[in-house]
Amino acid sequence: MAEKSNFYKGLKLLGTQKEQKLNSKIQNLLNNRELIERVSDNAQMQVPRINRLQEASERMSIIMDYPTKRDVASLAKLVIQLEEKIDRLEELVSTLVEDRGGNVGGNSSIRNKGNANSSRSIKKKSRLASNEVEGSKKKISDFINNSLLSSSKLPEFNSVGQGNSNV
């Protein structure tokens, strides 16, 4: 039993010595300015290749219709922003409920009238925002159609009535 213990102590000592030698070699390599400069230059030469690969990946993601790393990252940011907004709304609703003493509906007809007006205002703003989104979609669609038509030199068609004009 004592023989096994000595073996493991010797192995531990040998491992520690080798680790120290390896660490000192790594440290010497890291302190070698010439080596670091060569590695840095090589890395700088790889940057354009990496950028071209990323662009190719972006183009393929459009063609193949799959999300890229950037798409997922931007979506994650939007989700976080949305969660923060929801939290703020929950806090606002809870403070409003507490201020009204737990009476969410309220008793005053003036309050109800104000709520109706604000509800109409919200619906109107929602419709305006929806119209703006639809307008933006139409502009993008028109831009893409015009770009495709000009690049392929095909006859232009109206996106609303695409039927046969001879009918």
Burial of 68 per CB tally in 10 Å (0-12, 13-18, 19+): middle
Amino acid at 81: Q
Of 64, 63, 80, residue with least CA distance to 72: 80
Is residue 86 helix, strand or coil? Answer: helix
CA distance 57 to 51: 10
Euclidean distance between the first and final Cα of the chain, in Å?
Answer: 101
Residue with tokens 């662009």: 55
Name residue, tokens 């604000």: 118
Averaged pLDDT score across all residues of the chain: 77
Ranges of each domain in the chain: 67-102, 112-149
Extract the tokens encoding 160: 């609303």
Per-residue pLDDT of 70-127, as tens digits, reads 889 999 999 999 999 999 999 999 898 888 876 655 554 444 545 555 566 666 666 6
pLDDT value at 163 more than 50: no
d(CA 6, CA 139): 80
CB 98 within 8 A of CB 108: no
Query: How far, in Å, CA of 132 to CA of 106, rounded?
Result: 35
pLDDT over 70 percentage in the chain: 59
pLDDT at residue 128, rounded to an integer: 65
Please tell me the distance from the alpha carbon of residue 77 to that of residue 86, in angstroms, as a whole number.
14
Q: Percentage of residues in the chain with pLDDT exceeding 90?
A: 32
Question: What pLDDT is attached to residue 154?
Answer: 42
Higher-pLDDT residue of 99 and 130 is 99
Higher pLDDT, 78 or 151: 78
Distance CA 122, CA 116 (A): 10
pLDDT at 49: 95
pLDDT value, residue 16:
95
Question: Does residue 39 surpass a pLDDT of 50?
Answer: yes
- Taking the whole predicted model, whether its pTM rises above 0.75 is answered as no
